[in-house]
A and B are shown apart, each in its own frame.
Chain A
Amino acid sequence: MSETPPALEVTDLHVSFPSEAGPVRAVRGVSFSVRPGEVLGIVGESGSGKSVSSLAVLGLLPETADIKGSVKLHGRELLELDDRDMTEIRGKDIAMVFQDPLSALTPVYSVGDQIVEALRIHQDLDKAQARKRAVELLDLVGIPDPARRAGAFPHEFSGGMRQRAMIAMAIANDPEVIIADEPTTALDVTIQAQILDVLKKAQEVTGAAIVMITHDLGVVAGFADRVQVMYAGRPVETGTVDDVYYRPRMPYTIGLLGSIPRLDDGGRHALTPIDGNPPSLVDLPAGCPFAARCPIATDLCRRVEPELTVREGGNHPTACHRSHELVAGGSLDPATIYPVPPLPKAPADSVPREDRTPVLEVDGLVKHFPLLYGAVVKRKVGEVRAVDGISFDIREGETLGLVGESGCGKTTTLLEILDLPSGQSGTVTVFGKDIRGLKGAERKALRRDLQVVFQDPMAALDPRMPVGDILGEPLKTHGWSRDRIAARVPELLGQVGLDPDHVDRFPAEFSGGQRQRISIARALALEPKLVVLDEPVSALDVSIQAGVLNLLDELKARMNLSYLFVAHDLSVVRHIADRIAVMYLGRIVELGSAEAVFGAPSHPYTQALLSAVPLPDPRKERERRRILLTGDLPSPADVPTGCRFRNRCPKFASLDESDRGRCREEDPAPTGLAGDHTAACHFAAAVTVV
């Protein structure tokens, strides 16, 4: 394979943008090459320059960008070409799949028309031929009923379908290179598995080289042949997936691998966070850009930036002054360079679950919305059964992970609890009080014990208020005196690991992870008993995520808190939750202790969900067999009869006709398995998938 010349070869690419504060050096010396049929994964956190590099390859950066270096397609230099010549190459030799398929498709043309356009730019086809080919392409990427769906507009497609259409467009002209920029980031995990499958197929059909850009080390582990890790605008480590995942030699890669919550490493333990934040690309300090966060940085690291070099003749270049010490048998052990914080033991852990008092009990909760149609003329055309009868409880000192894909009703459940409304049906009992009968003062008292942390830390903090006022607001609302507030605020900042002197700073002066810590501090201000966490780490980069997760764990143990942790990411939940509730289409399909649900998943949906989560482990990924679900999540406005999962259920497909009849007609109730582990499936049976 190394004999074939590379299809795309990028050498020493530099990109900078002018800005108010000075030039932003977004890309600083990127080199990579991909051969036909090969997949290169480029991994990095936000701002690492990975997307800018790909746009530079296609010549799609704004005119203000300053680009230097070399980009060669089959030996032909692209950076010297003018826009007219690049037009010939774009979409024909190099195709691109973008991250957000909704905004990446023109809203006013049908999907079919947009593929026809792509075909007719580069091929001499008449309209009918192109149309026929477009339908074939849609069929190839797995869009059902392609001839009819070709006439649909992008907004009428689901996210997964749109991404399939984008891939169809990308392979329309049989390209040499496909650049996929975070192609699955906006998608749910089961859809992500489908799209990765389609991409694989697209590669088989076209034989193209694929450059896969992502922030998710799990996604590329099983998909890529080689990986390049980027940090602060330049590659810091490159190699085969096995080399990079099993023998990382750059502290950043090591830290990144250690900070990812993994589904497969057996239960709860503290993650190893990388302290600090990525540097600003405007004026980078001298030396290694990672030095400030690196546990093994030396004076040399702070003075001289290391080059990406291959040592001892291998095929595994690393940009680190100390990488020779990090090899097997070297003086440093990659596994121990990051200190692992101890995970404190919660007082509640020693008390059996049934002896602890319940803090939240939800029984048969229902929330239906009227379905309105039309932007100008709104009318009710149906009913969205967002939450359709769910029951669970949370005991003192316990974390319940409520997981499910978008649209499953988890956010509605959370808002129903927080809004303290009268509810449509079912009861919500908080600290033993049914929220239905509550009057003003009692509600306010209840709010003191029930706090919330939202997903987006920027949106959750009023940007116009200094941190002191933000943290003081709940205290002020609940009648604390000025002096007590002034004493409490620095204390809170200290608790979440921030500098207590920063009370008069504004949210914008903090990084994402720090802002989420402020959000947590605000939630804790009144010393609540139950904290509702709505995707609290999904807006953060992995290396930051780990620190916040550790903090949550620590606070829970110290303050004997209970968490309702809502998330879509099963790996994150694996690390924080004692109990798991899996939601699908307004129902909890499986509920039980984390060990039971992850170790012996018994509902076919849970099994598919777990099997779709990629592991940052190339060997395991290659060996795993995915349970691929067909189709998209049905609309909660159009819930199937009987079991609501049946038309996507792999188990249903394997049943005989009489058993299928049962699934079609009878809505399965949660049935007890071992202990308090329940699954709402007529044919629940445990399977090991991780």
Chain B
Amino acid sequence: MGRYLLRRLINHVALVLIAASLTYFLAAISLNPRANFAGRNPPVAASSVTATLNDYNLNPDTPVVVRFAHWANGVAHGDLGRTVTGGEVNDEFARRVGVSTRLLLIATILGSIGGVLVGAWGAIRQYRTSDRVTTLASFFVLAMPVFVIAVTFKLWAIDINDAVGHKVIEYTGEYDPGLTGTGEILLSRLQHLLLPSLTLIVIQVALYSRYQRSTMLDVLGSDFLRTARAKGLSRRAALMKHGLRTAVLPVVPLLVYNVVLLFTGATFTEKIYGWHGMGEWLVNSISTNDVNAVAAVGMFTAFVVLIAGLLSDVLYAALDPRVRVR
């Protein structure tokens, strides 16, 4: 088993490296960091721009293979290079992972629990009004691109704030840097957290509830649920103890997969609500021609996909006695 896992890990690491390298090449070829210095006031001398770009390993005139070699050497030593403004990509990276984690933690927990409950409840009450309403609602949410949801919430928040007369709901940034007291800072953070969390929760509940509803429906017709009832369990007890427990198993790995992917998938939410997380970086690094940052994000995305896959596989094996590795 060890050998198998190792082989699989090597294969996956190779995939990540290939993905990251490809991303670097594409970014290095098509993005032009020199453009960032154009139109500056006062204008920057061409020679000094070139010097700066050379310093950051961002000069488009350097052959791309040479730049790649330099970059790859740095990556091998744990250095992701310099951003277009001269900062360390590593520092920016760490900061942004922190921001994304703070944003995602509450939203994913609530979203997952909510999704499972709504889905299971819908399945149990199949074709009753409550099931129809939740099904319709999740269809609606899934038919909306995230940016539409986020912008709509933002517009609603503005309306509410206008109606109340002062800013109850914040929609830009992570916190208000002007505040001092602990309580005030905490409150401000919560105010800022509300809208992006709500966006993420709504989307996750809609998605996970679809999965949960369909696995739960499969279980509802199962023989073992009939056995549980034939033993003398009430419908409710049988559904909870035998039905939900079995129906959640296949959903959990899927859920974990999607949650992990959110680390770079919360792009729209972060961008629209001005949270400086990994997702926002993805958009901003391209807009600012930040080649090294783009490569870092690309590598991180590939890595996240991998971890998500591995984690959900391991969970699947750990949770289900039918495939549990002894």
Contacts and interface: CB of A to CB of B under 8 A. Distances in A.
A98 B226 contact: yes
Contacts of B5: 377
B230 A83 contact: no
B246 A104 contact: no
Given A153-B321, A376-B317, A378-B4, A103 B224 contact: yes
B12 to A, nearest CB: 14
B1 A377 contact: yes
25 contacts: A90-B230, A91-B232, A91-B233, A96-B227, A98-B230, A103-B222, A103-B224, A105-B224, A105-B227, A106-B224, A106-B227, A106-B242, A106-B246, A110-B321, A117-B233, A118-B232, A121-B231, A121-B233, A153-B321, A155-B321, A374-B325, A375-B323, A376-B313, A376-B314, A376-B316
A511 to B, nearest CB: 25
Given A107-B246, A375-B322, A376-B323, A90 B231 contact: yes
A59 to B, nearest CB: 9
Contacts of A379: 1, 3-4
Identify the 9 closest CB pairs spanning chains A and B, nearest first.
A91-B232, A375-B323, A91-B231, A103-B223, A96-B230, A106-B224, A104-B223, A153-B321, A90-B232
Given A103-B223, A376-B325, 6 more contacts: A104-B224, A105-B224, A107-B320, A117-B231, A377-B4, A377-B325
Nearest to B325: A374
A66 interface: no
Contacts of B1: 374, 377, 379
A271 interface: no
B323 A374 contact: yes
A139 interface: no
Interface residues of A, number: 38
Contact of B232 (A100, A107, A122): A122
A609 B231 CA distance: 34
Contacts of B283: none
Contacts of A90: 229-232
B223 A98 contact: yes
Interface in A77-96: 83-84, 87-92, 95-96
B132 interface: no
A534 to B, nearest CB: 27
A108 B252 CA distance: 14
Nearest to A99: B223
Interface of B: 1, 3-5, 222-235, 241-242, 245-246, 249, 313-314, 316-317, 320-323, 325
A118 B231 contact: yes
Contacts of B242: 106, 109
Contacts of A55: 226
Given A378-B4, A379-B1, A121 B321 contact: no
A523 B313 CA distance: 44
Q: Which of A60, A118, A377 has the most CB of B within 10 A?
A: A377
Contacts of A208: none
A90 B229 CA distance: 7
Nearest to A118: B231
A291 interface: no
Contacts of A100: 223
B223 A87 contact: no
A117 B241 CA distance: 11
Interface string A371-411: 00011111100000000000000000000000000000000
B249 A108 contact: yes
Interface in A322-376: 374-376
A58 interface: yes
Nearest to A152: B321
A135 interface: no
Contacts of B229: 60, 90
B124 to A, nearest CB: 12
Contact of A377 (B227, B233, B317): B317
Contacts of B232: 87-92, 118, 121-122, 173
Contacts of A109: 242
A386 B223 CA distance: 31
Contacts of A213: none
B221 to A, nearest CB: 9
B8 to A, nearest CB: 8
Interface in A168-213: 169, 173
Interface in A27-48: none
A283 B105 CA distance: 58
B226 A375 contact: no
A84 B229 CA distance: 11
Contacts of A374: 1, 317, 323, 325
Of residues B230, B314, B320, which shows the largest number of chain A Cβ atoms within 10 Å of its Cβ?
Answer: B230
A84 B241 CA distance: 17
A257 B224 CA distance: 34
Nearest to A94: B230
A83 B234 contact: yes
Contact of B226 (A87, A104, A376): A104
Contacts of B313: 376
A515 to B, nearest CB: 26
A107 B242 CA distance: 9
Contacts of A122: 232
Given A84-B234, A88-B232, A375-B317, A155 B322 contact: yes
B321 A107 contact: yes
A106 B322 contact: no
Contacts of B325: 374, 376-377
A87 B223 CA distance: 17
B235 A83 contact: yes
A212 to B, nearest CB: 16
A379 B249 CA distance: 24
Nearest to B317: A376
B322 A95 contact: no
A98 B1 CA distance: 38
Contacts of B4: 377-379
A347 B296 CA distance: 81
Contacts of B225: 106
A91 to B, nearest CB: 3
B317 A91 contact: no
A153 B231 contact: no
Interface string A92-135: 10011010100111111110000001100110000000000000
